[in-house]
A and B are shown apart, each in its own frame.
Chain A
């Protein structure tokens, strides 16, 4: 009963956080945050559950975005098919490179992924310029046809679609967290030798986690592509490689709400501060350093327990045992 209540509370909280966005912020801002949340969920799973820090997430974002863009620019008009192809591109690429990447230690993993992002950037900008149109990018906003039920060419309906996708992805990661596979991922992060004693292959677990996490990132890329109707190599710019890692740490590594809270905080800060200050990047950098120092566990990991305790005291939530609770 307690677990069921907790599950519904978690869903409600995640749902409310995202739904509230639409009420208090302009539509483009809300959509940006929802897609950024999905983008960060993959990075959060890799870092928080498997212990892999990746500075190459923009590469996977680009794989999904270009998978969608190629279809919508050259072949078809249906954005749903475009998104599906973006996801499949993510699965294919991660399944192909995963066996080489997941054998690496976390620090080398981070660097190899960073290198991948740079490679993808130059592939899209120079090597494949005939197909990608280089810096000019691919425009296909007017190519996309209207779709039944939720018309993705209309921003309001796209928001609903992105919102539902974000909720589904969030619920999927919650399911993973509570599953044996989630426990295996955490176990491989804590002590990979011990996991072998039990008969598990660390490689298999990391490989599957790698595919899941980066396919999520590719999905975010597809959503960006459909929403903007445009994709350019800027999406995998090396200058953006740290963004998802920063947002993950800012929100709270390994927490389910971390990506949502981190995306709201990061995008919000950027949006707000850039309106007042010319050199806003410097100010945001300093602010991030301050936030990390003040609550090194990230926003949600610092504030979440207070919120849960307050709600437990009021009887809204069942009491959480410090020793037994998962603290998510």
Chain B
């Protein structure tokens, strides 16, 4: 792990039973960076994020976060250490209100400063007493991201955050990600190339479980270059 890196994944191999889905994958993230993983469906992007977050045990490899190897740790311990995973499905605790959803996030992290969330997503202020099951897709995504940023995580792993959302919400999330990256490093799996190119400091392209390309400077990050991996 090089100096200044908050997350370093090296030689990661993951299998689902007999079927191997990640081959020697690796990525490096510095504080404040926005790192994006692109690739076709089935390329192994979600598996990579889930493995880093501790939901899938790798067969080999290391995941060094803030100097600690995460392999073998429980997912909730990893979350407590400040590495949070935001899944793709936008499922919330539907029977709980928005406020209760935030309380869950706050209690775990002892961070009750909800202003940091409502600063990013002001709309949530007026929805506090609504059950999360009644929120729109965009509002749910705001809630999930807002809940995750409580406790100032060092790294946020975000899986397909704009999938199925209206363009106006995507634009809002785009600026929110830029703001969030000032406090946390973001590792995002995303297929929306204009968004990817607008926010990314580094891009990893995955194909059939292999990391096949890495674009590490702003000049090389262009939609038409990334397009070939989708």
Binding site for B on A (CB under 8 A): 180, 183-184, 186-187, 190-191, 193-202, 321, 323-324, 326
Per the 8 Å Cβ criterion, residues 55-102 of B in contact with A are 55, 74-77, 79-80, 84-87, 91-97, 100
Alpha-carbon distance A193/B77, docked complex (angstroms): 13
Total number of residue pairs linking A and B with CB closer than 8 Å: 75
Alpha-carbon distance A183/B131, docked complex (angstroms): 12
Question: Can you show 29 pairs from A to B with CB atoms below 8 A apart?
Answer: A180-B104, A183-B96, A186-B93, A187-B104, A190-B93, A190-B95, A191-B91, A194-B93, A195-B104, A196-B79, A197-B53, A197-B79, A197-B87, A198-B76, A198-B79, A198-B105, A199-B76, A199-B77, A199-B80, A199-B108, A199-B151, A200-B76, A200-B104, A200-B108, A323-B130, A323-B131, A323-B134, A324-B130, A326-B97
Question: Shortest beta-carbon distance, A29 to chain B, in Å?
Answer: 35
Instruction: State the main secondary structure of chain B at its contact with A.
Output: mixed
- Given A187-B104, A323-B130, check contact A199 B79 (CB 8 Å): yes
Alpha-carbon distance A181/B104, docked complex (angstroms): 8
Q: Are A187 and B134 in contact (CB under 8 A)?
A: no
Question: Shortest beta-carbon distance, A226 to chain B, in Å?
Answer: 38
Q: Which residue of A lies closest to B80 (CB)?
A: A199
- Given A186-B93, A187-B93, A190-B93, check contact A197 B84 (CB 8 Å): yes
Contacts of B16 in A (CB 8 A): none
Contacts of B79 in A (CB 8 A): 196-199
- For chain B, the bracket of interface size reads 20 to 34
Binding site for A on B (CB under 8 A): 53, 55, 74-77, 79-80, 84-87, 91-97, 100, 103-105, 107-109, 129-131, 134, 147-148, 151
Q: Which residue of B lies closest to A182 (CB)?
A: B100
Q: Are B94 and A183 in contact (CB under 8 A)?
A: no
